[in-house]
Structure 1
């Protein structure tokens, strides 16, 4: 380990930014605004819904790109040269994210929406909510995991390796996994739209992020200056990302306004399997890491990256596949509302149980 790394590890953990800390509050406010506007000015939302090309809503596409692009600039594929370092953590990340999480989310969705909640919602609505849960389960976290890793004083380089590997896998695995799971639940899968969504919301932003990162770091004289350049760039584009997220939430709930006002119980019903999935995945990964004697600064991010979701991608694909006013889109946004308080509670738990794990 370098002296700088040891210094970083000994430094006191700092809090997340005001926006991230209160994300649930901002999203809740955006939901309220969307519900009000959707009931007051439904014609405006109807007009926006018609701005589509090849099953992609153009307004939402711009907003999603604004959210996703800054995150992709933070992905450093040069970190993949460390892929062989501490292989246990990487193996655990891949198994949890790609061999367990999508399928447990689908199973929980089927259990609750086809059986437990069957008397509370129509079969058509249940199918839509289930589709939204499947999209969330198949999209592991890309950006917020850096926040959770930082709060547990995780190994930043290794967290970057995990995210980079997940992004590479996502390009090739997301569409097939979603198609298989939607097919299993008898939901028609428009393959062309699904592949188009992956291209629009993963491949293109990722390519743009890599190109931007290359330009920013090429001008710097050393790694330290490169990081400063990246931090300054992220600070400049972060407002666009925040506006994109909150405006998307306003639009989604504006389209759903009448349904939600008449049936607020829907939000609670969607949240139930999401909560069970989040805590279940975390503890499965966390205790597997403990049993495998993975160091805490790798184990904590391993568990948290599987618990958190790339909700921006899930939202975008739900809109492309099922429409802005769909139950699938609503389910993915409820995922945003649920995620932040859940993740903060798990960060607190991880920090209190740090002594369970060997040191790095």
Structure 2
């Protein structure tokens, strides 16, 4: 990991502060940028998100899906958390905390939209930052690669129905055309473009050429991430400064959701007897969110100044520091984890030997 990546938390914090300050100082500039949209899709944001996502997707070899068999326990746990637990647990947390417990302290006309933003945030598993988290936990790279490839494949068909279902339950009118457009623009098209680029580079220059390309693209992806943060917090700067209590209240269900899902995935992997190098990234993939897609979808569906967009931006605000804390917990508990996992793996063999 480069020095730049090691201090990513610092750069993220600086960009958040810069975005808030710039948005407060030059609101007119950000309003002009926000108005540059087609079919409710903001063009500058779309370009930045493409620059973030495509370099990450170029890393993914979708032929790696056959490696699912090698880590089937970890794959099964992560899929269960990502698609059967996380969107629905976030919806439940949103309804309880935002729709009930904190409702008297929130703007009444935005409550449903805050819940919608939380649901959108949780409905897409992380694809980009997962490689960073996995590296920090010394995770099994083939597991991480195959899990991300499988999640991206599922996300193409599952994201819109899950979001539509849960938003419908939240009494939000779902603009299906915009939702489907977001899936196509931020998932399908980047996946196709990245895989065509990967195939062409491998055909002309092999793995060495691909490694050189990724080395050039990686800084571009991180710069696009930081520029996106400046824009996002510039758009929401006035709201953030004016509503610090709202930001704090929205962060509560997000924090609970991250730690709950990470802990559940970690423990289920331990019970299943999976190796720590698989359980670590499994927990992190299970807990983290594809916030680039979430922010883009929320803005496309409800607009820059909506409560939904603000809720997803709060997700960005807490994502990096919270995930780094999960990394520390996973690494610090490796000894405890491996004692339990080794006992689970050896139990069937002992039973067989006695019989």
Report how many aligned residue pairs link the two structures: 340
Task: Give the one of 180, 186, 191 matched to 1:201.
Answer: 186
Alignment CA distance shift 1:173-1:107 (3 Å): same
> Which segments of 5 or more consecutive residues in structure 2 lack a partner in the other structure?
346-355
Q: Distance in 2 between matches of 1:213 and 1:93?
A: 26
Q: Distance in 2 between matches of 1:342 and 1:253?
A: 18
Which residue matches 2:164? Answer: 179
Matched, 1:211 2:196: yes
Matched, 1:104 2:89: yes
Deviation per CA, 1:54-102: give whole Å up to 9, x if none. 1111111111111111111111111012222231111111111001011
- Structure 2 matches for 1:313-352, cutoff 5 A? 313-352=293-332
Of 71-80 and 30-39, the range deviating more from structure 2: 30-39
Which residue matches 1:167? Answer: 152
- Structure 2 matches for 1:293-332, cutoff 5 A? 293-332=273-312
Q: Is the 8 A contact 1:49 1:324 kept in 2?
A: yes
Deviation of 1:244 after TM superposition, in Å, equals: 2.1
Q: Secondary structure at the match of 2:104?
A: coil
Which residue matches 2:228? Answer: 248
Q: Is the 8 A contact 1:190 1:321 kept in 2?
A: yes
Q: Please, what TM-score do these two structures have when normalized by structure 2?
A: 0.91
Deviation per CA, 1:212-251: give whole Å up to 9, x if none. 1112222345xxxx1x433321221233322322222222
Q: Is the 8 A contact 1:158 1:298 kept in 2?
A: yes
Q: Distance in 2 between matches of 1:39 and 1:353?
A: 43
Which residue matches 1:191? Answer: 176
Q: Distance in 2 between matches of 1:306 and 1:208?
A: 26
- Structure 2 matches for 1:222-301, cutoff 5 A? 226=207, 228-301=208-281
Which residue matches 1:4? Answer: none
Q: Distance in 1 between matches of 2:302 and 2:87?
A: 19
Deviation per CA, 1:264-287: give whole Å up to 9, x if none. 222211211111111000111111
Q: Secondary structure at the match of 1:84?
A: helix
Q: Is the 8 A contact 1:38 1:253 kept in 2?
A: yes
Query: When you count helix as a share of all residues, which structure comes out higher?
Result: 2
Alignment CA distance shift 1:90-1:254 (3 Å): same
> Which segments of 5 or more consecutive residues in structure 1 lack a partner in the other structure?
1-15
Matched, 1:119 2:99: no
Q: Considering only aligned residues, what root-mean-square deviation do their CA atoms show, in Å?
A: 1.7
- Structure 2 matches for 1:50-199, cutoff 5 A? 50-199=35-184
Alignment CA distance shift 1:269-1:25 (3 Å): farther
Deviation of 1:137 after TM superposition, in Å, equals: 0.5
Of 325-334 and 17-26, the range deviating more from structure 2: 17-26
Q: Is the 8 A contact 1:175 1:195 kept in 2?
A: yes
Q: Distance in 2 between matches of 1:351 and 1:332?
A: 28
Q: Please, what TM-score do these two structures have when normalized by structure 1?
A: 0.90
Deviation per CA, 1:27-76: give whole Å up to 9, x if none. 32222222222222222222222211111111111111111111111111
Q: Distance in 1 between matches of 2:108 and 2:72?
A: 44
Deviation of 1:126 after TM superposition, in Å, equals: 2.0
Deviation of 1:123 after TM superposition, in Å, equals: 2.3
Deviation of 1:177 after TM superposition, in Å, equals: 0.4
Q: Distance in 1 between matches of 2:219 and 2:138?
A: 26
Alignment CA distance shift 1:21-1:273 (3 Å): farther
